Amino acid sequence: MAERSQTAPEAGNDMGNDDAIGGNVSKYIVLPAGYCGQPKKGDLIFDACFESGNLGRVEQVSEFEYDLFIRPDTCNPRFRVWFNFTVENVKESQRVIFNIVNFSKTKSLYRDGMAPMVKSTSRPKWQRLPPKNVYYYRCPDHRKNYVMSFAFCFDREEDIYQFAYCYPYTYTRFQHYLDSLQKRNLDYFFREQLGQSVQQRQLDLLTITSPENLREGAEQKVVFITGRVHPGETPSSFVCQGIIDFLVSQHPIARVLREHLVFKIAPMLNPDGVYLGNYRCSLMGFDLNRHWLDPSPWAHPTLHGVKQLIVQMYNDPKTSLEFYIDIHAHSTMMNGFMYGNIFEDEERFQRQAIFPKLLCQNAEDFSYSSTSFNRDAVKAGTGRRFLGGLLDHTSYCYTLEVSFYSYIIGGTTAAVPYTEEAYMKLGRNVARTFLDYYRLNPLVEKVAIPMPRLRNEEVEAQRKKEKPPPSKHPFLRGPASNYPNGKGDKRRSVNHKDPSNPF
């Protein structure tokens, strides 16, 4: 790689100072030194002025090499990880080296084989670059910051190429997805606007359950799921979509879950940060997952709205808030795994481990050995920690993490890179694990087997025969020694099928 001048950063030159980056590059043309004419083919044009885009500055080091600077999160210069930009006006067979020079993190999965994503106009499916073309190292030319360099060869002159840290999942894509679900007019899918962000983007709340569970006076067992509180953690949205897709499907397991549980899902807690291309913060520079203790209605309106709803449900005697799961992506670890809380009550602590153990049986990419339980002071303002202290012993709060890069299947050492579909598959497996947790497996067979057509009087007799009294409903949990009890300490033993069986 070409040598750089090492005098600019020390001299305080704006071009060598990360603080000088105030916005994304917009159709920025890189011309050869001393050239003032029209750009020729091969004079690269960089752009990040689009939804979820991020590239703050470009410096040409040599004819073939470019230093690229991530734009920090808005109103917060500490976080510089997410990038997403386009390159055009390329020459066929033009070879380049791009150096991402101002990462705010020292540890990275780039050390373990992770590579940036790329697509182009003629090949719109995202692909990972070959790991052999990617290097991650500490660079003395950039204040000893860690730099990720990758080599690339442009092969089609008319294409526009796009590079990103991970698979993008934009606010607009999310809105189109919810619009398509709403148009299906499913009687068990409900969408409402719980609030708005600072920039007036929607905070969507989804409710997925049988309509009978929403009738006045009905008791509800609620699973509450949130995602994208950290906007650059795009795998969170794919996992969340996998959960939603499965729960609204006609799969027998999904039908049983809708009959017995109420799923409340807020898939995008930080829509402004997502839209702006931030990695961790909101528009105003707040890490929302550190403000659960006292969210402001004007500075953290989305968090404030979700917290109000959760507290309201907790105070409703007809509602049992059973689970809270906040979905994230992890930049240094493999696989999916969970963080849980530590409790003084040993029995409660042991019961909390049941769900991740079951998920480990259902999902080959989920690692129980990487799952941990803690109460670090630095995590005190997170949703998991705050709600774990607020809710009673019948509720369990987790952070679900999934790797930005890959998973390692038990018994092997090879890393399998995640795809969009693999992230969504993890979401489907999270959803089906509730069937095992609540021991609802026997009910799936009844749903799956076609029922013969009966006359009216036979239908009524069959309903009376199959419907048990409320206190013996198979939805209720098993003995305390194995599974946590619901409110009222109701118990019932049901044969538990092997949760590792495929659909």
Could you tell me where the DSSP H helices lie in 363-501? 383-390, 420-437, 441-448, 456-466
What tens digit of pLDDT does each residue of 56-69 get?
999 999 999 999 99
Residue 394: per-residue pLDDT: 85
Residue 192 appears among annotated catalytic residues:
no
Of 7 and 422, more confident: 422
Architecture, CATH, for domain 171-442: 3-Layer(aba) Sandwich (3.40)
**97 DSSP β-pair partners:** 65, 151
Residue 381: per-residue pLDDT: 83
Is the pLDDT at 6 greater than 80? The verdict is no
Per annotation, catalytic residue among 63, 364, 401, 445: 401
What tens digit of pLDDT does each residue of 76-106 get?
999 999 999 999 999 999 999 999 999 999 9
* Dist CA 453 CA 68 (whole Å): 67
Residue 376: per-residue pLDDT: 75
What tens digit of pLDDT does each residue of 393-410 get?
889 999 999 999 999 998
Neighbours of 273 (CB within 10 A): 32
Residue 465: per-residue pLDDT: 54
Of 321 and 468, more confident: 321
Residue 486: per-residue pLDDT: 41
What tens digit of pLDDT does each residue of 237-285 get?
999 999 999 999 999 999 999 999 999 999 999 999 999 999 999 999 9
Domains of the chain, residue spans: 7-164, 171-442
Residue 344: per-residue pLDDT: 81
Does residue 290 sit in helix, strand or coil? helix
Tell which CATH classification among 1.10.20.10, 2.60.40.3120, 2.60.40.1730, 3.40.50.150 matches the domain 7-164.
2.60.40.3120
Is the pLDDT at 478 greater than 50? The verdict is no
The residue-averaged pLDDT of 172-193 equals 98
Give all strands (DSSP E) within 117-247, no chain letters.
Answer: 117-120, 123-128, 134-138, 146-154, 161-164, 189-196, 202-208, 220-227
Is the pLDDT at 173 greater than 90? The verdict is yes
Q: Contact, 485 vs 493, CB < 8 A?
A: no
Q: Which pLDDT band, with edges at 50, 70 and 90, does 19 fall under? A: low
